[in-house]
A and B are shown apart, each in its own frame.
Chain A
Amino acid sequence: MLSDIVFTGFLLPMLIAYAVGRLVLQVPRLQFASATTGLMCVSLAGVLFFEWLPLDPELHWQWLPALILFSSVLSLLVNINSRHLGKHTELDDSEQSGSVPEARFSLRHAIQVTLFAFLAILTAYFLMPDWQKLNDVRFWYGIVLSMIIFTVCWMTHSGTIRARPTLSSTVLALTSIATGIVLFHSGSLKFAQFAGLPAAACIAWRLLSRNAQFKPSCIAIATPAYTIAITGLLFCGYINSFSSVPVACYLLCVFAPASLFFHTHDKLTLPKLALHLLPLVIAVIWATTRSLLDDL
Chain B
Amino acid sequence: MKYLALFISIAVAISAGCNNSTEGLDNPSSSAANSDSSAPANDSAGFKFSAENAMIAFKGSKPDGSSHVGGFKSFSGSIDLDETSGTVSSIHVSIDTDSLFSDAERLTGHLKNVDFFNVNEFPTAEFVSTSVTAADGQHTIKGNLTLLGKTAEIEFPATISTEAGKVTLESQFSLDRTKFGMTYGTEKNEINPNVDMTIAVGRTE
Query: CB of A96 within 8 A of chain B?
Result: no
7 contacts across the A-B interface (CB closer than 8 A): A56-B2, A122-B10, A122-B14, A133-B120, A191-B114, A294-B109, A295-B105
Cα–Cα distance between A136 and B59 once the two chains are bound (Å): 37
9 closest Cβ contacts across the A-B interface?
A: A242-B109, A142-B18, A187-B109, A187-B110, A242-B112, A243-B109, A139-B21, A187-B113, A125-B17
B188 to chain A, nearest CB (A): 5
Query: CB of A239 within 8 A of chain B?
Result: yes
Q: Which residues of A contact B (CB under 8 A)?
A: 1, 4-5, 56, 58-59, 61, 66, 70, 118, 121-122, 124-126, 128-129, 131-133, 135-139, 142-143, 186-191, 236, 239-243, 291, 294-295
Cα–Cα distance between A137 and B19 once the two chains are bound (Å): 10
B9 to chain A, nearest CB (A): 11
At the interface with chain A, which of B24-32, B42-50, B130-138, B151-159? Answer: B24-32
* Contact status B114-A61, CB under 8 Å: yes
B11 to chain A, nearest CB (A): 7
* Contact status B120-A291, CB under 8 Å: no
User: With A188-B114, A190-B184 known to touch, is A138 a contact of B106 (CB < 8 Å)?
Assistant: no
* Contact status A129-B121, CB under 8 Å: yes
Cα–Cα distance between A71 and B98 once the two chains are bound (Å): 35
**B interface: dominant SS:** loop
Q: Which of chain B's residues has its CB closest to A184's CB? A: B110
* Contact status B21-A1, CB under 8 Å: no
Residues on the A chain within 8 Å of B114, using CB? 59, 61, 188, 190-191, 236, 240
* Contact status B120-A187, CB under 8 Å: no
Residues on the B chain within 8 Å of A66, using CB? 3
Cα–Cα distance between A87 and B115 once the two chains are bound (Å): 47
Residues on the A chain within 8 Å of B23, using CB? 135
- Beyond A124-B18, A139-B21, A294-B109: 7 further Cβ-contacts under 8 Å? A121-B14, A125-B17, A125-B18, A187-B113, A188-B115, A243-B106, A243-B109
- The residue that B21 contacts in the complex, of A129, A138, A240, A294, with Cβ under 8 A, is A138
B80 to chain A, nearest CB (A): 30
Q: Which residues of B contact A (CB under 8 A)?
A: 2-3, 7, 10-11, 13-14, 17-25, 27, 29, 104-106, 108-110, 112-115, 118, 120-121, 149, 184, 188, 190
Cα–Cα distance between A12 and B10 once the two chains are bound (Å): 34
Cα–Cα distance between A142 and B18 once the two chains are bound (Å): 7
A4 to chain B, nearest CB (A): 5
* Contact status B18-A129, CB under 8 Å: no
Residues on the B chain within 8 Å of A242, using CB? 108-109, 112-113
* Contact status A240-B14, CB under 8 Å: no
* Contact status B29-A132, CB under 8 Å: yes
Cα–Cα distance between A189 and B188 once the two chains are bound (Å): 14
Q: Which of chain B's residues has its CB closest to A292's CB? A: B106
* Contact status A240-B120, CB under 8 Å: yes
Residues on the A chain within 8 Å of B120, using CB? 129, 131, 133, 239-240
B147 to chain A, nearest CB (A): 14
- The residue that A128 contacts in the complex, of B2, B13, B18, with Cβ under 8 A, is B18
Residues on the B chain within 8 Å of A118, using CB? 11
Residues on the B chain within 8 Å of A190, using CB? 113-115, 184
Cα–Cα distance between A4 and B187 once the two chains are bound (Å): 11
Residues on the A chain within 8 Å of B184, using CB? 189-190
> Which of B105, B113, B190 is packed against the most chain A CB atoms within 10 Å?
B113
A202 to chain B, nearest CB (A): 24
* Contact status B24-A135, CB under 8 Å: yes
Residues on the B chain within 8 Å of A121, using CB? 14
Residues on the B chain within 8 Å of A236, using CB? 114
* Contact status A135-B188, CB under 8 Å: no
Cα–Cα distance between A138 and B17 once the two chains are bound (Å): 10
Cα–Cα distance between A131 and B108 once the two chains are bound (Å): 21
Cα–Cα distance between A188 and B149 once the two chains are bound (Å): 20
Residues on the A chain within 8 Å of B149, using CB? 58
* Contact status A125-B121, CB under 8 Å: no
Q: Which of chain A's residues has its CB closest to B105's CB? A: A294
Residues on the A chain within 8 Å of B21, using CB? 135-139
- The residue that A1 contacts in the complex, of B20, B109, B110, B188, with Cβ under 8 A, is B188
- The residue that A240 contacts in the complex, of B10, B19, B20, B113, with Cβ under 8 A, is B113
Q: Which of chain A's residues has its CB closest to B31's CB? A: A133
B182 to chain A, nearest CB (A): 12
